[in-house]
């Protein structure tokens, strides 16, 4: 397999206007992807959506030029959540879907991720093949075979109606005051519209994007704003999305944060009671709390752990017949409705339980008691290999020995940043903190 230099765990990502997120590279990436997905004699089409960051104005026309150059017609949606592009790729029978977004990263970064005609993210093998063909010059379309580009004017409306259709028809959100934080990102118009049309009293946060403020002190990765706003407005609960709206965090009426593990536990119990849960299991990642695993076990359900990254969660879901999976960070995948994480669809499943129960969010959202869990990120120089140091390996082995039988430790490199993530959890919080500090210190020393 060709060495992958561009693609990471979720497409291509980097600093805007710096390799690889430059116009010339994006033209070549689009042309290579277009060549790969040009099969048959029909007019081939690609759908391109983006979030609200400034560099989308650079990357969108570059991708458009690349696709048009190999004869693909381009459909542009403007700001649109990642799951919306996955959905539109399927429903419009497109050959490829593209999202321009760096998800939860700051405005200065950007990225591109691809969906195949089935609406699923591309496999590692397909991404590697696209990358290996970046420098190919043929076949380029003849002058009379070039593609065309057009805007899809009703993209927002299509997605809004799709999302609303996932909410039970027998229920309404009347009487619920909901704060929604859209992170100044792709769902800044659609998320409030969905909640309001379903009957909620909506308070909005993060709905004034200016190209620079996406994810800045707001959204799913900065939930403190949502927590304070829920309390200040005496709201029933809060919903926070990230920049491309595939991630969800929730807050109860007291401002208490509810992470993806609690959301998965709640949906699992609800779907099990309604005979909707398939596979007898939930798929999560190695980062999910042991408390979730124990809670699901008490329901007679299994927990399958996948590598970090919603694409790997989805692969494990499909392999094991699960229709519910996700990440502690809030990527929740519900394959009855979507082929990728969808923060708004997941929120509606939770809201359905709250609306049906007629109880405060605090009594519904906390379904299990998590074990103490501590995560530290240790930055290292690009190109460094701190996990190969003998001192780091010894520190990890010592931590595993101390936690044996009462917890676990996980050490992994980030797929999107030069970070090593050190996570431990167990019944003794003091011990958990100590082993995380010891391993993090060893990594920091090896990175100097």
- Same-domain pairing of 96 and 222: no
State the chain's mean pLDDT as an integer. Answer: 94
| pLDDT > 90 fraction of the chain, expressed in percent and rounded | 90
Asked if the structure places residue 388 within a domain, the reply is yes
pLDDT of residue 351: 98
Pair (17, 91) in one structural domain = yes
Question: Average of pLDDT values for 78-97?
Answer: 97
Q: Which of 239, 256, 273 is the endpoint of a domain?
A: 256
Do 57 and 148 belong together in one domain? yes
What would the pLDDT profile of 166-208 be if each residue is shown by its tens digit?
Answer: 999 999 999 999 999 999 999 999 999 999 999 999 999 999 9
Active-site residue identified among 103, 270, 288, 329: 103
Q: How would DSSP label each residue in 275-339?
A: T---TTEEEEETTS-HHHHHHHHHTT-EEEEE-SSHHHHHHHHHHHT-SEEE-TTS-EEETTT-S
What is the C-alpha separation between 249 and 214, in angstroms, rounded?
16
Structure-token pair, residue 196: 């309001």
225 and 335 belong to one structural domain: no
101/136 same-domain check: yes
| Confidence (pLDDT) at 1 | 36
Q: Provide the CATH number for the domain around residue 232.
A: 3.40.120.10
**R_g (Cα) of the chain, nearest Å:** 22
Q: φ and ψ at 392, to 5 degrees?
A: -70, -45
Range of the domain at 296: 260-342+352-365
**Quick check: is 103 catalytic?**
yes
Measured between alpha carbons, how far is 332 from 338 in angstroms, rounded to an integer? Answer: 10
Cβ proximity of 66 and 28 under 8 Å: yes
What residues does 413 pair with on adjacent strands? 420
2 within some domain: no
Quick one: 223 and 110 in the same domain? Answer: no
Report yes or no on 168 lying in a domain. no
- pLDDT tens, 221-279? 999 999 999 999 999 999 999 999 999 999 999 999 999 999 999 999 999 999 999 99
100 occurs within a structural domain = yes
Residue 223 lies in a domain: yes
* Residue that finishes a domain, picked among 365, 399, 416: 365
Same domain, 106 and 189: no
b/e per residue, 344-360, with b = 16+ CB within 10 A? Answer: bbbbbbbbbbbbeeeee
Shared domain check, 74 and 36? yes
* 169 located within any domain: no
CA torsion, points 192, 196, 197, 199, in degrees to nearest 10? 150
If asked whether residues 46 and 147 sit together in one domain, one would say yes
CATH number at residue 381: 3.30.310.50
């Amino acid at each position: 397999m060709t060495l992958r230099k561009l693609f990471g765990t979720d497409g291509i990502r980097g600093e805007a206007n710096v390799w690889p997120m430059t116009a010339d590279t994006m033209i070549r990436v689009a042309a290579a992807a277009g060549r790969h997905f040009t099969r048959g004699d029909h007019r081939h089409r690609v759908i391109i959506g983006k979030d609200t960051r400034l560099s989308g104005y650079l990357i969108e026309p570059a991708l458009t030029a690349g696709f048009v150059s190999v004869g693909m017609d381009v459909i542009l949606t403007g700001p649109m959540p990642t799951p919306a592009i996955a959905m539109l790729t399927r429903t419009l029978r497109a050959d490829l879907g593209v999202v321009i977004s760096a998800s939860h990263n700051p405005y200065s970064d950007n990225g591109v991720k691809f969906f195949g005609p089935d609406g699923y993210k591309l496999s590692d093998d397909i991404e590697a093949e696209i990358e290996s063909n970046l420098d190919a010059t043929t076949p380029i379309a003849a002058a009379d075979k070039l593609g065309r580009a057009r805007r899809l004017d009703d993209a927002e409306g299509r997605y809004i109606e799709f999302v609303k259709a996932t909410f039970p028809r027998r229920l309404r959100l009347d009487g619920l005051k909901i704060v929604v934080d859209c992170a100044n990102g792709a769902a800044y118009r659609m998320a409030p519209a969905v909640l309001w049309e379903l009957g909620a009293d909506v308070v909005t946060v993060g709905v004034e994007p200016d190209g620079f403020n996406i994810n800045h002190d707001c959204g799913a990765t900065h939930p403190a704003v949502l927590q304070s706003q829920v309390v200040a407005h005496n709201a029933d609960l809060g919903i926070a999305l990230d920049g491309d709206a595939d991630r969800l965090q929730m807050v109860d009426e007291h401002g208490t944060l509810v992470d993806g593990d609690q959301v998965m536990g709640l949906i699992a119990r609800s779907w099990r009671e309604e005979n909707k849960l398939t596979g007898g299991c939930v798929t999560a990642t190695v980062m999910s709390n042991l408390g979730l695993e124990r809670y699901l076990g008490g329901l007679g359900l299994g927990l399958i752990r996948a590598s970090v990254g919603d694409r790997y969660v989805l692969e494990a879901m499909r392999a094991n017949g699960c229709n519910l999976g996700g990440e502690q960070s809030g990527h929740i995948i519900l394959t009855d409705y979507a082929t990728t994480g969808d923060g708004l669809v997941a929120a509606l499943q939770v809201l359905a339980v709250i609306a049906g129960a007629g109880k405060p969010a605090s009594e519904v959202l906390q379904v299990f008691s998590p074990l103490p869990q501590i995560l530290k990120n240790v930055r290292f120089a690009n190109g460094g290999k701190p996990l190969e140091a003998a001192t780091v390996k010894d520190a990890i082995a010592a931590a595993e020995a101390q936690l044996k039988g009462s917890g676990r430790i996980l050490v992994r490199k980030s797929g999107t940043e030069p970070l090593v993530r050190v996570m431990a959890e167990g019944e003794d919080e003091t011990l958990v903190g100590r082993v995380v500090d010891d391993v993090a210190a060893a990594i920091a020393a090896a990175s100097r």
